[in-house]
């Protein structure tokens, strides 16, 4: 089932983007005519990449996906949805521990903008343990993150570390 002419947002910190994020994005493209990955500019503990760098990196790794846009936002996602005529928010779930937080967020978003649905998607079984936080930790200690991030991401992070 595809929602013709329906636009969705996929918000997150994406610091950095992982293969789990791309898994959720690619499967979501089966349902929506356009998806905008929205880099949240809120205060994140120890961000590795600036919001602008995250936007550039995501644009690079999603450049072959024609119906994907990338944007940055520092306000409420429901305001973004209202301003951009968005009908759904996509959220990925890795484990049961994600659900409570995401459920509360979706409930509040529904209060703020009842015209926008939140869709939860489970990550593929071989990626459920991957998070941006873990990827950053492994990277900072010199571990190999190539199995967990899109091609080109490691080079971005190495360049950032050299700066």
Catalytic positions, written as ranges = 21, 45, 94, 132
Contact yes or no for 117/89 (Cβ under 8 A): yes
Alpha helix (H) ranges present in the chain? 19-28, 51-61, 77-83, 96-112, 132-140, 153-162
**First-last CA distance in the chain:** 46
Query: What is each CA distance from 15 to 6, 39, 115, in whole angstroms?
Result: 27, 9, 29
Contact yes or no for 35/163 (Cβ under 8 A): no
Residue 77 has phi, psi (to 5 degrees) of: -65, -30
């Amino acid at each position: 089932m595809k929602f013709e002419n329906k636009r969705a947002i996929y918000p997150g910190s994406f610091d950095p983007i992982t293969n789990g994020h791309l898994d959720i994005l690619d499967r979501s493209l089966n349902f929506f005519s356009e998806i905008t990955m929205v880099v949240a500019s809120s205060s994140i503990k120890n961000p590795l990449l600036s919001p602008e760098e995250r936007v550039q990196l995501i644009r690079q790794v999603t450049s072959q996906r024609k119906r994907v846009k990338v944007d940055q936002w520092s306000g409420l996602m429901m305001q973004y949805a209202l301003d951009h005529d968005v009908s759904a928010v996509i959220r990925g779930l890795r484990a049961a521990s994600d659900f409570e937080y995401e459920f509360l967020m979706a409930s509040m978003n529904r209060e703020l903008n009842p015209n926008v649905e939140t869709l939860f998607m489970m990550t593929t079984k071989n990626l459920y343990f991957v998070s941006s936080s873990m990827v950053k930790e492994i990277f900072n200690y010199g571990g190999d993150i190539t199995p967990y991030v899109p091609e080109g991401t490691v080079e971005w992070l190495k360049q950032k570390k050299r700066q």
